[in-house]
A and B are shown apart, each in its own frame.
Chain A
Amino acid sequence: MPKIKSLEELRKLREETIKSMRVRKSTSTKITVGMGTCGIAAGAREVMHAILDELEKRKIDANVITVGCIGLCAEEPLVTIERGGQPGITYGKINVEKVPKLIEEHLIKGDIIDEWVISRG
């Protein structure tokens, strides 16, 4: 990807991207990362960054969303993955090291990592 230095370049790149992707359907994969105080202190921002890097590396299309505290402070950082209408799976105590495996298993192979799950649906 070319370096984007100005918003003008962003505008150009957007047009090119839209042209090249034509009418591709928008992604139905949503990854949510908890960003309350406990999450942030436990490394949620770095986990989110690692998720973005991993998605880029593996060319996976997904929307990454941050949310506030959901009241499970002891399990932070929390990551919920929702795919194509299926109920979300929430993983607890995710750190930067666990991210590649999480993406590999859940998003590429379609396997849930049961030991890391803290809630379903």
Chain B
Amino acid sequence: MRELSLHILDAVQNSIEADANRIYVKIREDFGRDKLIIEIEDNGKGMTPEFLKEVLDPFKTTRKTRHVGLGLPLFSAAAKNCNGDFKITSKKDKGTKITATFQYSHIDRAPLGDIVSTILAILCSDKEIDLFYHHQVDNKKFEFNTQKLKKILGNIPLANINAIKWLKSYLKYNFKELYKNGGV
């Protein structure tokens, strides 16, 4: 995919489909160690160790009979092509955690891209979920979570067009601050 934020959206979609209602997205841009680390953790239905093995190895010939999708293999390839690493840990009925690591300065690393659009697309999900977002660029950080937002919005749903307008403005401002002096 053209942007890492699209992989994030896709992975969160997996979490939502796994019936998670708490999803943690953690991004760390560490210029000093030349690393970009993306973590997505959920409390969804998880995977058995057997299933997990196949998800990590999508090019096994069982592909036709078993449902092995494209999302995770694409994310994994993106990380590994950038001198990085891709790890999934999962516990049946407990949840799943994905960690993708990239060499920050790698020539093939896709940009993080439009993270605001990714967050809005997650917040507009038809499922009742809470997102906990944490983003660190060098030593600056921005975090927010939907539990706080929902408290402020009260009876206005997150998907309400005015709420989305406010959030877009809020997120855009805070990312601009986060990326002042540096970042890509």
Residues of A within 8 A of B (CB): 1, 3-7, 9-11, 13-14, 17-18, 27, 32-33, 35-37, 40-41, 44-46, 48-49, 52, 55-56, 60-69
Contacts and interface: CB of A to CB of B under 8 A. Distances in A.
Given A32-B126, A40-B6, A7 B17 contact: no
Residue with the highest number of chain A CB atoms closer than 10 Å, among B71, B74, B157: B71
Contacts of A68: 13, 16-17
Interface of B: 1, 6, 9-10, 13, 16-17, 69-71, 74, 114, 117-118, 120-122, 124-126, 144, 148-149, 152-154, 156-157, 159-162, 164-166, 168-170, 173-174
B169 A3 contact: yes
Contact of A52 (B144, B164, B170): B164
Given A48-B117, A63-B161, A64-B164, A7 B152 contact: yes
B126 A67 contact: yes
A3 B175 CA distance: 13
Contacts, number: 103
A48 B120 CA distance: 9
A64 B173 contact: no
A62 B156 CA distance: 13
A75 B166 CA distance: 32
Contacts of A64: 124, 159, 161, 164
A48 B160 CA distance: 14
A68 B69 CA distance: 14
Contacts of B125: 35, 65-67
A51 B159 CA distance: 13
A30 to B, nearest CB: 9
Contact of B121 (A3, A45, A69): A45
A48 B6 CA distance: 13
B161 A37 contact: no
Contacts of B162: 17
Contacts of A18: 156
B161 A56 contact: yes
Contact of B170 (A10, A17, A41, A69): A10
A63 B173 contact: no
Given A35-B13, A63-B157, A65-B159, A4 B126 contact: no
A41 B1 contact: yes
A64 B125 CA distance: 9
Contacts of A6: 170
A4 B161 contact: no
A65 B124 contact: yes
Identify the 4 closest CB pairs spanning chains A and B, nearest first. Answer: A4-B170, A4-B169, A37-B71, A66-B124
